[in-house]
Structures are given as C-alpha cells and as structure tokens.
Structure 1
Amino acid sequence: MTVLDARALNRATLARQLLLDRADTSVLGTVGHLCGMQAQEPQEPFVGLWSRVRDFDPSALSELLLERRVVRTHLMRRTVHLLTAEDVLAWRSRHDSMLRQRVLGTYRRELDGVDLDSLAAAGRAVMSDGQPRTMAELVQAVARPEVPARPLGELLIAGLVPVVQAPPRGLWRTKGGVRNVLLSSWLGREPDPPSDGRDLVLRYLAAFGPAATADIRAWSGLAGLPAAVKALRPSLITFRDERGRELLDLPDAPRPSPDMPAPVRFLPAFDNALLGYDDRTRIVDDAHRNLSVAGERVVLVDGRVAATWTVRDNAVAYSPLRRFTRAERSAVAGEAEALAKFLVT
C-alpha cells in the first residue's frame, strides 16, 4: 500500500481546501465544497473565504445569509458552522443524537432528570411563530425554573430544537447578538430524515482527504460512520501515512506533487483546515497543535502553520513561530498588507 508522507498529505489538504490557488468558484459553491465553515466568531469566515476565493466580495456572503441560502447553526462537533441551506437540511437529523449527547455530557448534573421530549415540544411551540429569539427569551418562555438557565438554553438551541442564527448575526462588518429561529420556519421545511452517512463521508473526503476514519470522527463529531465507510470501500482507494494509519480517498481527487510550491495563506480562528482532522501533523507541528483550538489565527508558510496573526492599529501584525527566510518574510508581509486592505478599508 502506498505511503503518503506529511508533505504529500499537506499538498493534498491544501488543494482540497482551496489554499494552493484561489478558486474561481462562487461563495455558495465554496461553502458547500468545504462542507461548511466553523463560524462561532461571526466575522472569521470572511477571512477564510478571502484566502480561498479569487476577488472575494464580502457582500456576497452577507447576501446569501439574508437570502437564506446560507445559514449559521450548530452542527459538526456541536460548534457553530456556516453551511448551505441544502446541507443543513440534508445533514441535521444525522447529527441530532450527537448534539444532544454533547450538551448533556457538558451539563450532566444540571440537566439530570429533565424530560427531553417535553422540553423539545415546549421549545418548538414557543418558536412556532417564526420570530427570532435570544436564548434568554426562549428559556424564560419555556418556564423551567428548576433548571439553570445556561444549560437549559444550550440544550434547547444546540441539542433539541433545530434552529439557525438569524441575521444580522454574521453579516459583514455588522454586530448582532444571537437570535434563534426554527430551522424549518427559516428554510420552509423540516430537515430530511437521517441519512446513512455515505454522502457525508464522500463530501468530507472531497474537501479533506486523504483521511482516516478517526479524522472523519474528529471533524463531524459522529462515531466515525463505520457502516457508511464499509459500504463505500469498493469505490475508494487507500493509502497509509507515516504512522501506519489507513487513509481513505476518492480515486480522482487531486493529490498534487509534494514539490508543488505553496503560497502564504492567512487563516481565521477555528479554521477547519486544522480542526477537521484527528491527526493534524499534515499541516501543523504537534507543538502548535492547539493554537487553532485556542482561537489563534494562523499563517501558513510553505503550507504549514508558521506564525500567528492579529489586527492591530489597522494593520495585520504577525508573530513567527520559527525563523523565516528573507523570501518568506517578504511573502508574509505582502499577504498581510493585502489582508489588512481587505479588512480595514
């Protein structure tokens, strides 16, 4: 079985994540290809798209949110993601159990004994008018004073009742608190019945492969989708990484030469190019593995995490994690200047 070293996996990852060349695809198509973008920080997806889409216009994403073609909702790993409406409708039911269990696991003591079916019905009844509500308003309306407000609210909006976060939350250069509305009210129909997961696996591999089943589990929060993987095996190809793990992939997916040059790219906080794997060594050294988990924005140099960055005094400032060559310093500075122009002008 062919072994793919870290550099070969790196170039494949960059190609799938649209980080080798900026794509000429639409914003909607890009969000769909990426299987959504982690988005608990509302402005971060704009940076992720700027680094991936040629001539990215941030108003295009705002328009998609207002047109309800893209939504913000809890899904993979119980984190807020920006997804196409079609993907949310197709995937939400498959994630229901995981979402519920993750909330219950976080607030086991506070939520012990809560009647989940009754609470879900009460939440749906309150929100059936289609009006966006804050979590505090929803908690007050369902009237469960014996349960602490925060756990109750998170159980409702992240674990029991499919909701989306209504604009202006997530619009370009717009501040807005979280107001939740029923997904079915916002998009005009209920989510599809749970799928067998094969579409999720294929879509994941297209955007993140080659990858192990542990990587699929780390990205989705689901239990690796073993039945789906088994059903798909005859149509997939396999490799091994340097650690001996089996990697699955689509036969015709891009796997560029390890020698292909990789441009400097600035990634937003919580970008799935890092968080979408259990083994992240293809893109970041173990010593820096948790930077993105901690909300640090990172810079890719030669395809790997090599600096962190922030905005300071209307400029993009970066802090190297290793010594840069003169050419690398110049390339990072040039990309930082272009990003600052996008962000502050």
Structure 2
Amino acid sequence: MVLRTVDVGERRARLAARHRIAPAHRAPDPVEAAKSMVCLHGTDPATVYLSAWARVADLSVAELDDALYVDRSLVKHLAMRRTVFVFPRAALPAAQAGASNRVAQAQRRSVIKDIERAELHEDGARWLDEATTKVLHALAGGREATSSELRSEIPILDASTDYGIGKSWGGKVPFAPRVMTVLSASGHVVRASNNGHWRISRPNWARTGAWLGEEIEPRSESEGLRELVEMWLRAFGPGTEADIKWWLGSTVKGVRAALADLAAVEVDLDGRTGYLLPEDVDPAPPVEPWGALLPSLDPTTMGWFERDWYLGPYKQQLFDTSGNAGPTAWWDGRIVGTWWQTDDGAVRLYMLEDAGADAEAFLSDEAARLDEWLGGVRVMPRFPSPLAKSLAAQ
C-alpha cells in the first residue's frame, strides 16, 4: 500500500489554521483558543495569557480571568507529564482518565516511599491517606485556602525531609506541596482563584466539586486515552507514535491501542509513519504567509516530540536542557527567531535568520502589538532559554 504523503508545507498550513495563530484564523475567545490546542500550557502562569493573546483578537486580561475564575469554563489541572495545563471544562473527563490518574498513582507511590524513607511514619500510605482526608475536610463547604493556610491548620502537613545533608546546598523538602499534587492529579482539588498578578501563580485550593459545581465525570483509562489522542490528532495531526507518546506521557502500547480504536490512517511524513483521523485525510488548503510571536512553553512549540520540520537547527538556543521551550518568533510555519523584553518591559524582536523583508516587517509589527498589550509589564519566564538569558544580560 502506498501511503499518502503529507509534506512539510501541508503540516505548516494545518498548524497555522488549527492552532489559531495565523491572523486570519484567530479564535473568537479564550475557550475556543484552548480547545483548538486541546489545552494551554499552564506551568508558567504568564504562558496561558500570552498563548491566548497570540490566538484571540483583541484579548483582554479580564476576558481570560473571567473564563478561569468566574465562568470557570477553563480549568487549571495537573495532567500529562505531571504538568499543569488549562483545559476547557468539556475535556476534563478525558484528561483525568487518560493522563491525570496515571500521574496521581505515580506521585502517590513516590510520596509513600519518601515518607517511610524519612522515617516520618512506618506506614506511608496511612500517613498520606490521613493528610489528604484532613485537607479535604478543611476545604469542605466550598472553602478556598492557600497551601500556607492549610499547613498552618493541619499539623501533619508540616512535614519535610532533608536533602544534601552536610552540604552547602542542602536543605529541607516539604511534603505539603506533594500532598496537594496527589490530590490535584487525582481530581479531588483544583487551583481555584489566584491571589497574584496574572503572570504570577498564587492559587487558592478548592474541592473540585465545589469549584465546578460537579465532580469530574469518571471514564476508563482506555476511553480517556482514546479521547485525548483523538483531540491531539485533530489539533496536531499528522504526528508519529513518538509525538503522541511524548505529549501524553503515556506508553507506546496505550498509544497504539488508541490509534487502533480510532481507525487512524497512516500517512508518510518524509519517510516516517504518521497518523491522521479517518475523516481528516484530505489535503489541507494552503494558507497565506503568516507570522506569530509565541511565549515560552507555548503548546504549539511544545506540541511534538519530533520538531525538526518547524524548529530547524535552533534547539540549543531556544530550549533549555530539560526540554522547555523559550519564546519564539514564527514565520510561515517555522521558527525564525525569538522575542524578549528589556529591563523596562519593552518587547524586542531577535531574528535567528534572514526570513525576508515581509517576515521582518510583520514580526516587528507583532512585537509592537505585544509591547502595547503588555503595557510595560515584564514577563519573567520560569524556564528561560539559553538565548533568552543571553539577550537579557545585554
């Protein structure tokens, strides 16, 4: 059987339209922007706002705040790869079953092991069960509370373990954040309202049912995986097994089972096997040349494991050693530069190559638009890229 070839040009055209980053394809609101990406990356709180800004025309901070904290149509949730994402509410059941439960189980085992190793309790499972029960009791009745408030009220949470004993870099690791990780990955609590500026995460915790008005609907793991893979293929397809496995933080076995359930169609990606949904095999229409400025950890930059077709030779400049992407400048479906801010918050464009006069002009206009939107607010990426560090040091 001869596979249909999806070349780099078509992949870039799909990306432009489906990720809502080509100006002609921007989303009408933040919920649609998140849905178009399955979810937005939320480890760095500023990324959520800047990713939405890149995809929604005339976005305001208040509009996204309303979606997160008033309508609660977007929800911060710990899921794939033990990472915080911002999901549309409708995607939560799939995320919980297909990713979060697996994370919760791994984190639970880790906490139990470390509690016993630190000799805080001979039965780590019993200690963790008691701690989580007390947290849920403290948050009863729709109450919201910070981690600090919970630690001050619940003595069992004020436990820690030593690391680097006798070393200058040694210290203590508290268990309270890890308890909250288990609870949030399990779907019992969520990051509710935020006590900080939009670019800073200082969340109150709340019980999920109270914050959303209902619990997350249970699904089987296979159902969750299938739904997540379907959403990923709709947004990011075509992609390889390696792409999907990395994005999900799952196993090859799980990915293959989901692809089989979806009757995914094999296509040729420059000699590698990729997959599309059966109803999505027709060639994508071309897209007019476009540009975009995306923030660090943006879901487009982070969406695939195999990135050469849009990243080119710039991995060492734009990704840190842990694989976290810095800010990027895109032209016509590939990364051609970065952007950064001066000490006074002014946005500056930095090109890694000569992409042509049209690209330079468009991206310079985007930098000016972002500069106006930020209004002098300086965003400090949690995981700055090597290039971002060198530019900030100038």
TM-score band by shorter chain is 0.7 to 0.9
> Could you say which structure has the larger radius of gyration?
2
Structure 2 spans left out of the alignment, 5+ residues: 117-122, 162-171, 377-394
Q: Give the superposition deviation at 1:142.
A: 5.7
Counterpart residue identity of residue 9, structure 1: R
Aligned equivalent of 1:272:
299
SS of the residue 2:178 aligns to: helix
Aligned CA distance change for structure 1 residues 239 and 109 (closer, same or farther; 3 Å): same
Q: Structure 1: which 5+ residue stretches go unaligned? A: none
Higher relative contact order (CA 8 A, sep 6+): 1
Alignment of 1:109-128 (within 5 A): 110-112=114-116, 114-115=124-125, 116-128=128-140
2:10 partner letter: A
Closer/same/farther in 2, CA of residues 199 and 305 from structure 1, 3 Å limit: same
Residues 106 and 311 of structure 1: CA distance in aligned 2, closer, same or farther (over 3 Å)? farther
Answering whether residue 158 of structure 2 is matched by residue 133 of structure 1, we say no
Alignment match, 2:365 = 334
1:28 touches 1:64 (CA, 8 Å); kept in 2? yes
Structure 2 match to 1:71: 75
Secondary structure, in 3 states, of the residue corresponding to 1:2? coil
* 3-state secondary structure, aligned to 1:247: strand
Establish whether residue 183 from structure 1 lines up as the match of residue 208 from structure 2.
yes
Measured in 2, the distance between the counterparts of 1:58 and 1:190 equals 28
User: Which amino acid is 1:164 matched to?
Assistant: V
Equivalent residue, structure 2, for 1:80:
84
Structure 1 16/106 Cα, relative in aligned 2: closer, same or farther at 3 Å? farther
Output the CA distance in 2 between the equivalents of 1:34 and 1:206. 9
**What residue is the counterpart of 1:168 in the other structure?**
194
The match for 1:256 among 284, 303, 309 is 284
Q: Deviations over 1:243-271 (max 9, x none)?
A: 422323352377535x6433110001101
Assess if the C-alpha contact under 8 Å between 2:27 and 2:33 holds in 1. Answer: no
- 1:210 matched to which residue of 2? 238
Contact 1:122–1:142 under 8 Å retained in 2 = no
Q: Indicate the residue corresponding to 1:56 in structure 2.
A: 59
Letter in 1 for 2:289: A
Task: State whether residues 238 and 249 of structure 1, in contact with CA within 8 Å, keep that contact through their aligned partners in structure 2.
Answer: no
Residues 209 and 248 in structure 1, CA contact (< 8 A), matched pair in contact too: yes
Q: Which amino acid letter does the alignment assign opposite residue 158 of structure 1? A: T
Does residue 282 (structure 1) correspond to residue 309 (structure 2)? The answer is yes
One-letter amino acid matched to 1:338: R
TM-score in terms of structure 2 length: 0.76
Measure the CA separation in 1 of the matches of 2:175 and 2:241.
Answer: 33
SS in 1 for 2:104: helix
User: Residues 276-333 of structure 1: CA distance to partner in whole angstroms, max 9, x if unpaired?
Assistant: 2121223212542752744511110221111111222342112222234333222221
Question: How many Å separate the matches in 2 of 1:51 and 1:232?
Answer: 31
Question: 3-state DSSP class of the match of 1:81?
Answer: strand
Deviation at 1:108, TM superposition (A): 8.5
1:165 and 1:180 in contact (8 A); partners too = yes
Instruction: State the SS of the aligned residue for 1:246.
Output: strand
Give the conservation status (yes or no) of the 8 Å contact 2:266–2:276: yes
The alignment partner of 1:245 has SS state of strand
Q: Share of identical aligned residues, percent?
A: 23
CA contact (8 A) 1:241 1:247 kept: no
Please state how far the C-alpha of 1:337 moved relative to its aligned partner.
Answer: 0.9
The SS at the match of 2:25 is coil
- The question of whether the paired residues in 1 share the 8 Å contact of 2:340 and 2:349 is answered with yes
Q: 1:325-345 CA deviation, whole Å, 9 max, x = no partner?
A: 333222221111111112218
Could you list the per-position Cα deviations for residues 179-213 of structure 1 after superposition, in whole angstroms to 9, with x for gaps in the alignment? 22221221122211124132222211111111223
- Aligned residue for 2:267, secondary structure, equals strand
Q: What is aligned with 1:143?
A: 156
2:174 paired with 1:158 = no
